[in-house]
Amino acid sequence: DAGVTQSPTHLIKTRGQHVTLRCSPISGHKSVSWYQQVLGQGPQFIFQYYEKEERGRGNFPDRFSARQFPNYSSELNVNALLLGDSALYLCASSRQGWGADTQYFGPGTRLTVL
């Protein structure tokens, strides 16, 4: 079975622009979570979606938004990009989205904001 896939692999944007990142979960997984990993740090939780509903939100500004589609894929949107948004954005999927579930991570999207 294919793992979690993310697109694009790399992205370069300028300040003030908008970006959309995409994630396809493992087949049969209904939950998708997004994490931001700044260079030299551990991943930080941004959002979790389960069955198209937001189940959790981390401490990120409203410029960050996400949604989940009926096929369980997900998009992360970031508006008005800042230099500090440069990071590796990781998507993770799990079957049922509860704490005991294992989250499987994709390879990430590397976003560079100039």
Q: What is the torsional sign of CA 23, 24, 25, 29?
A: positive
**Please, which residue, 42 or 70, has the CB nearer to another protein?**
42
Burial of 21 (0-12, 13-18, 19+ CB in 10 A): buried
Q: Can you tell me which of 31, 66, 78, 87 binds another protein, judged by CB under 8 A? A: 31
Distance CA 105, CA 90 (A): 7
**Please, which residue, 15 or 25, has the CB nearer to another protein?**
25
The pattern of x and - marking residues 41 through 80 that bind another protein according to CB under 8 A reads xxxxx--x------xx-x----------------------
What's the first-to-final CA gap in the chain, in angstroms? 37
> What SS3 state is found at 98?
coil
Shortest Cβ distance from residue 48 to another protein (Å)? 5
Positions in the binding site for another protein (CB under 8 A): 4, 31, 33, 35, 40-45, 48, 55-56, 58, 90, 92, 94, 97-108, 110
